[in-house]
Amino acid sequence: MGLPKIVVLGAGYGGLMTITGLQKKLNENEAEVTLVNQNPYHYVTTKLHEPAAGTLDPDYARVNISDVIDERKVKFIQDVVTKIDKDNKEVHLKGASEPLKYDYLVIGLGSAPETFGIEGLLENAFFIRDLNGVRKIREHIEYQFSQYHQVDESKRDELVTIIVGGAGFTGIEFVGELVDRIPQLCREFDIPREKVRLINIEAAPTVLPGFDKELVDYAVNYLEGKGVEFRINTPIEQCKEDGVILKGGEEIKSATVVWTGGVRGNKLVEESGIETMRGRVKVDQYLRAPGHEDIFIIGDSSLVINEENERPYPPTAQIAMQQGQNVVKNLVAILRGGSMEPFKFHLKGTLASLGSHSAMGIVGKKKIYGKPALILKRLNDARWYFIIGGLGLAMKKFKL
């Protein structure tokens, strides 16, 4: 086969956007397109806080890759990437004896938790990262609650104290879901509601750092009204098996610590020899790794500077999707001899859900709150299903 080989690593927002775009734009005889992903499914990362809290069946956050790829145009390999060898233009896979050759590589391998050096975090905290992880969070919380009546009274409080580290988007969305789930857990396990504590701890001087103050206040008031305790300006110093130690020495006992405090790039990118900052690669205007015209990096492992404030755009689904679209255009241009188009991020808006009954955020320049915001957020979820799987998938997964 003499066709140029395009290999896409990861079926996240960026990777799937690339794949579905390529299979739409390219003819069968233009390139050999391969997708590698460790699971046979894509999961909707922006919804993971819901199955983590137990308010959504994890299947609603999952899309089988076989349902969205066109097998005549894309080859899917379910495997784990173990090494990117840019000098030989190969990718090593855990389950394959031969490495996978590429002419063009698109890396969309997502992120890893950023622990900021907090002792014990990787060992003792949970992370909202993938379907297996969030199912475990949900089961872990339920298991703690189920033991409430069977342990000594002095041990009960920590079983039903849940600490969420980080009050960024994921943290806020997760506590929003969880605080809606708690009354149900209390009924199910005969635990008085007032015994359960949900504490959101944030090192920055505000919840949702960098976000509009009016919206932040709305979120905080809403969630405090439901019983969430916020501790801002409060770095966690250590995460232990049975809770956390805050800066200054205060200890909070808790059987469940979920860390949402930040992400860094995937270590495979770092290990490949590409220059990174906290695992993320400052890509060129075409989203390529500096000095590597054949490697595009999209999603959480890429770093794009917002020229307005000279700070990196935060890693979001929205930017990953737009990056995927850009890579598709540019790969088609390369194959067909056209000219490439620089990547420019268009922020359409930002919406954070606050559990099953409210949300808030900015759409265009307008602030929105409450049920309308929630409906918009859910429509936006449906839009993603529509993009990758058409109307059928959008209908199947849509839940208001």
Helices 213-225 & 169-189, crossing angle to 10 degrees?
Answer: 10
Q: Does 184 bind its own copies (CB under 8 A)?
A: no
Whole-angstrom Cα distance, residue 133 to residue 129? Answer: 6
Kindly state the smallest distance separating residue 135's Cβ from its own copies, in Å: 5
Nearer to its own copies, 5 or 136 (CB): 136
**How far is 183 from 192, CA to CA, in rounded Å?**
9
Structure tokens at 13: 């927002």
Q: Which is nearer to its own copies, 188 or 275 (CB)?
A: 188
Q: Are strands 5-9 and 32-37 parallel, antiparallel or unpaired?
A: parallel
* Interacting residues with its own copies between 57 and 96 (CB under 8 A): 58
Total residues at interface with its own copies (CB under 8 A): 20
Give the pair of three-digit tokens for residue 225.
């009204």
Complex with its own copies: residue 23 or 111, whichever CB lies closer: 111
Least spacing, CB of residue 388 vs its own copies, in Å: 20
Q: Are 26 and 73 spatial neighbours (Cβ–Cβ below 8 Å)?
A: yes
CA angle 356, 358, 364 (to 5 degrees): 130
How many residues belong to the chain?
Answer: 400
Distance CA 172, CA 185 (A): 20
Nearer to its own copies, 185 or 198 (CB): 185
Backbone angles phi, psi at 286, to 5 degrees: -100, 15
Smallest gap from Cβ 130 to its own copies, in A, equals 9
Strands 349-353 and 311-312: unpaired
Sheet bearing 251-253, strands edge to edge: 236-240, 243-246, 251-253
Show the binding pattern over residues 121-160: x = contacts its own copies (CB under 8 A), - = does not.
----------xxx-xx-xxx-xx-xxxxxx----------
Closer Cβ to its own copies, 139 or 250, answer by number: 139
- Enzyme catalytic residues: 173
Closest contact distance (angstroms) between CB of 190 and its own copies is 8
Q: How far is the CB of 148 from its own copies (least distance, A)?
A: 8
**Interface map 190-229 toward its own copies (x if CB under 8 A):** x---------------------------------------
Per-residue tokens: 73: 């145009």
Q: Which is nearer to its own copies, 53 or 131 (CB)?
A: 131
Residues 6+ apart with CB under 8 A from 35: 8, 11, 15, 19, 65, 69, 74, 75, 76, 77
Question: Which residue type does 148 have?
Answer: Y
CB of 239 to its own copies, least distance (A): 18
Closest approach of Cβ 293 to its own copies, in Å? 37
The total of other beta-carbon atoms located within 10 Å of residue 136's CB is 15
- List the interface residues with its own copies, window 6-25 (CB under 8 A): none
Q: Give the alpha-carbon dihedral of 217, 164, 160, 137, to 10 degrees.
A: 130
> Judged by CB under 8 A, which of 189, 286, 313, 345 binds its own copies?
189
121 neighbors 241 (Cβ within 8 angstroms): no
User: Which CB atom, from 151 or from 375, has the smaller least distance to its own copies?
Assistant: 151
Range 308-367, binding its own copies (CB under 8 A): none
Q: Tell me which residues touch its own copies (CB under 8 A).
A: 58, 131-133, 135-136, 138-140, 142-143, 145-150, 188-190
